[in-house]
Amino acid sequence: MKKLHIVNPYNSFAMQRMVAPILQSSGFMNLYRMTESEKPEDKVDLNYFVPWHGLAGNVDLPGKKAMLYTHCNPPDIAALQSACANADAIVAMSFTGRKELLTIGADPAKVQVIYAGSGDFALRRRNIGVIAFAQPNGRKRQHLLIDLAWKLNSVARQCLNFVLMGNGWEDIAAVANNAGLQTQLVEIVDDGQLQSLYNNLDFLLLTGLAEGGSLPMLEALRCGLPVIAPAVGYAADFPEMVQVYHSDIELVEILEMAIQPLVDRQLFAQSLNWRQYELEHALLFGRLLNQSVDIYPEYGMSRYSQLLGLIEQIHPKTICEIGTWNGNNALRMLQAAAKFHPMERLSYLGFDLFEQASGEQVFREHSKIPVQEALVEMRLRATGAGVILIVGDTRDTLALRHPEADFYFIDGGHSYETVQSDWENIQLRMPQSAVTVFDDYYTAGGKPGIGCNRVVDNLPSEQWSVEHLPVVTEVADGKIRMAKVMHA
């Protein structure tokens, strides 16, 4: 078993969080004997300096050396250059960090961007305040709370907490809670408590259809609080100061739009997780040490690693991936190609259904749960490469846009009809020297009509050269490998 030592001299809270996913990983423990201290070790296969500072200067260590680049203060640039020269592999926390390293002369072939994880931090619900005394004649429209419980989407219900102040809300709140809305009853007895309430709200919601004012609207505005209100009273006099709604449907739209940025931020942060951090480190260290990269075999990283080996052989400038999914594979392929070409000269064209995928399509195509295109595009754009994502069913989108690339990876829809259609469409402008890799060639098991076997097996040998790549991954319904195809 090879030895991996983490050099963590500062042991700060941030550095602890950066090394814990590796040190505490059951997958890493299966492949490596791991240790940690403030200083490097002589009798190990790899010293990983977290952060980079201990690798600067005269470093005489027999094994491989990797470093984590966090940042560099201006007086330390020479030390950073020395550390980069001494390192066999450099992990940058961002693509901005990668650019900083290349600016000072770091070898791009050494630098790998691995994003940190966002952890398991919980979402704070946004507080919607309703300050009113429920009127017997229904003037305050207490029923809106029940309407919202049924009409808000499930995400909005999980993100919102309705804070109710005033008499008469108890029964309505109980019904709304039973329908899935979170409510909170509060009692205010003086201005100090009211000030505290306003300071803890994110929005004030007015519900009454007949108002002389209302007073809470002015108080909320005085506290800098956004107000959502029907077009009555002060809201009708000063509509520029509030978000006006005219129906319960408009109110639902306003509330769902208000929390959409919150949802987007949460989804983006969820896409950066510590498990992926483990997997990317295992891929980097395994390739560096000629060691298995499969700390968790079910993820099939050794299978995907073959793509990086091919890219390092052919040095493509243009990559086309059919089935971008979450973008992780695209990031790896672009970084492999960027060892040989400046990132800004690389082009990536990705095809996927993304969030447009219906449940029927996911089932029919034997696909993964879809990811939002905007989140994937944001991550890939950060590389600096030319990135274009095409959203839609590839039976339609590839027929309209026949990509010309140096390297193709077909891993989108897995039905025979879709794989055959994808293959026919990319051939139309495929360069003679291009390499195409099909994923999901079943060596055992599989479902009828799923996978690339039928397409690959029917390729005429006088026209196409087929090579089955060696790594086989065991999946839920069988065993799969990749097939490399080139013009004969």
pLDDT tens for each residue of 288-339: 999 999 999 989 999 999 999 999 999 999 999 999 999 999 999 999 999 9
According to CATH, the superfamily of the domain at 126-268 is Glycogen Phosphorylase B; (3.40.50.2000)
Burial class (CB in 10 A: 0-12, 13-18, 19+), 204: buried
Enter the tokens of residue 10: 């500062």
Question: Angle 439-348-471 (CA atoms, 0-180°, nearest 5)?
Answer: 25
In this structure, the strands spanning 478-487 and 435-445 are antiparallel
SS3 label, residue 53: helix
SS3 label, residue 221: helix
CB-based contact 455:428 (threshold 8 Å): no
What Cα–Cα distance (Å) separates residue 194 from each residue in 219, 223, 448?
9, 11, 65
SS3 label, residue 358: coil
Report the share of the chain in percent with pLDDT over 70. Answer: 99
SS3 label, residue 420: helix
Taking the C-alpha atoms of residue 241 and residue 220, their distance in angstroms, rounded to an integer, is 11
Q: Which amino acid is at 128?
A: I
Quote the pLDDT of residue 299. 92
Quote the pLDDT of residue 178. 92
Question: Angle 428-430-431 (CA atoms, 0-180°, nearest 5)?
Answer: 135
Residue in 276, 318, 324 with CA at minimum distance from that of residue 301: 276
Under DSSP, the state recorded for 63 is S
Higher pLDDT, 399 or 69: 69
pLDDT digits (tens, 9 = 90+) for 348-389: 999 999 988 788 887 777 878 888 999 999 999 999 999 999
Give the global pTM: 0.91
Cα atoms in the 13 Å half-sphere on the side-chain side of 331: 21
Residue in 356, 299, 353, 357 with CA at minimum distance from that of residue 329: 299
Q: Where in the chain are the domains?
A: 1-117+273-293, 126-268, 300-488
For residue 478, what are the β-bridge partners? 445, 475
In this structure, the strands spanning 111-113 and 64-69 are unpaired
- Average of per-residue pLDDT values in the chain: 93
What residue spans of 371-410 are helical by DSSP H? 373-381, 394-400
- Count CB atoms within 10 A of the CB of residue 293: 25
CB-based contact 149:174 (threshold 8 Å): no
pLDDT digits (tens, 9 = 90+) for 273-285: 999 999 999 999 9
SS3 label, residue 371: coil
Quote the pLDDT of residue 18. 94
What Cα–Cα distance (Å) separates residue 332 from each residue in 69, 113, 176, 275, 451?
18, 9, 47, 16, 23
Q: φ and ψ at 123, to 5 degrees?
A: -70, 135
In this structure, the strands spanning 407-410 and 160-165 are unpaired
Under DSSP, the state recorded for 150 is H
Domains 1-117+273-293 and 300-488 share a fold: yes
The CATH T-level fold of domain 300-488 is Rossmann fold (3.40.50)
Question: Angle 276-272-289 (CA atoms, 0-180°, nearest 5)?
Answer: 30
Quote the pLDDT of residue 437. 98
**Has residue 287 got a pLDDT over 90?**
yes
Q: φ and ψ at 98, to 5 degrees?
A: -60, -45
Taking the C-alpha atoms of residue 115 and residue 93, their distance in angstroms, rounded to an integer, is 5
For residue 161, what are the β-bridge partners? 127
CB-based contact 472:480 (threshold 8 Å): yes
CB-based contact 349:405 (threshold 8 Å): yes
Q: Which amino acid is at 220?
A: A
Enter the tokens of residue 236: 């009708």
The CATH T-level fold of domain 1-117+273-293 is Rossmann fold (3.40.50)
pLDDT digits (tens, 9 = 90+) for 36-80: 999 999 999 999 999 999 999 988 899 999 999 999 999 999 999
